[in-house]
Amino acid sequence: MFDFFSVLIPFLLIHTICDFYLQTDRWVEAKKARTYRSPELYLHATLQGVALLVPAMALGIDWRSTVCLIVIVAVSHFIIDLWKVTTPKGDKLAYFVIDQALHVSVLAAIAFHVADGASIDAVLQHERFSDGVLVVFAYVLILKPTSIVIGAVLNKYPIVNSAIDTDTDAVTDTDGVAVPVSDKTANVSGLVAGGELIGYLERLLILTFMLVGSYAAVGFVLAAKSIFRFGELNQSANRSMTEYVLIGSLISVVITTLIGALVSLGVGIKFK
């Protein structure tokens, strides 16, 4: 009798080892250069399937199911990898995420089929299903929607003599908020979209620490960000930029903290 996660986790372990540790850079470049004519593409796909013999034997899956498992994973991995290497700009982060999501989805579907007693109704009726949906909703809410809210609040406070985005004539702060600037002669500095990523990571960390009850770690995140930003703001002669960063950061923290507190109460996490 198999549990869904007891099947999925070994499958994911094998996938990770084969995709990131046993696949060399030479294989990756060969697949990009020769696509479907590359022996490395066929070898890699076959390895992904055959390697699943290890967890299949450990779990005691019957041989018919094991053969089907190997064939499905090898063929699906070949098709997905072929799509990626034949797609223009397939080495972009978005394509990597899609590629891995497709591989994981195939393994999850197989694990769902192999697991005894697993069904859509069983998942929907699970006592923790609503808690899981609430947590996922919280993570979705703190990313783009929160950035839009912060941008709406700060939109009436233009920044003078600040780094601008040459495409949008706007500043992107550490929370990923684009705000119009009044001086278009300012110099551009910093990573493109770097502020957005920093804001996302900050909110993800704060919410995660709140959900696991590690509130001291939340303070550590805020202190670390303050230390890194102190030098830049201390040397800046632009007071509006300093105020902008502080207000944007505080709004970001307040929203994430409130969402984290509400979700913690919803799922029954006790405050310490």
CA distance 35 to 13: 26
Co-location of 141 and 264 in the same domain = yes
pLDDT in tens, the chain (272 residues): 577 888 999 999 999 999 999 999 999 999 999 999 999 999 999 999 999 999 999 998 999 999 999 999 999 999 999 999 999 887 788 899 999 999 999 999 999 888 865 566 666 666 677 888 899 999 999 998 998 888 888 887 766 654 444 333 344 554 555 544 444 434 445 554 667 788 899 999 999 998 988 888 888 888 877 776 665 556 555 666 777 777 888 899 999 999 999 998 888 776 65
Q: Of the candidates 148, 171, 147, 168, which has an alpha carbon nearest to the alpha carbon of residue 159?
A: 171
Check whether residue 102 and residue 147 sit in a common domain: no
Q: Which of 75, 106, 127 is the last residue of a domain?
A: 127
Q: Is 84 inside any structural domain?
A: yes
189 within a domain of the structure (yes/no): no
Instruction: Based on the fold, state whether residues 34 and 68 are members of the same structural domain.
Output: yes
Tell me the β-bridge partners of 179: 171
Evaluate whether residue 182 is within a structural domain: no
Structural domain that includes position 215: 130-158+194-271
pLDDT of residue 80: 97
Answer yes or no: do 226 and 113 share one domain.
no
As given in the structure block, the two tokens for residue 10 are: 């070994």
248 and 145 housed in the same domain: yes
E strand or H helix that includes residue 94: helix 93-114
**214 and 122 together in one domain:** no
Do 38 and 80 lie in one domain? The reply is yes
* Both structure tokens of 207: 């919410």
Measure the CA angle with vertex 225, ends 222 and 228; round to 5°. 150
Q: How many domains does the chain have?
A: 2
Is the pTM value of this prediction over 0.75? no
**Residue at 150 is within a domain:** yes
In a domain, 107, yes or no: yes
Please state, in angstroms and rounded to a whole number, the distance separating the CA atoms of residues 1 and 10: 16
Question: Does 24 share its domain with 70?
Answer: yes
64 is a domain residue? yes
172 in any annotated domain: no
Same domain? For 216 and 134 the reply is yes
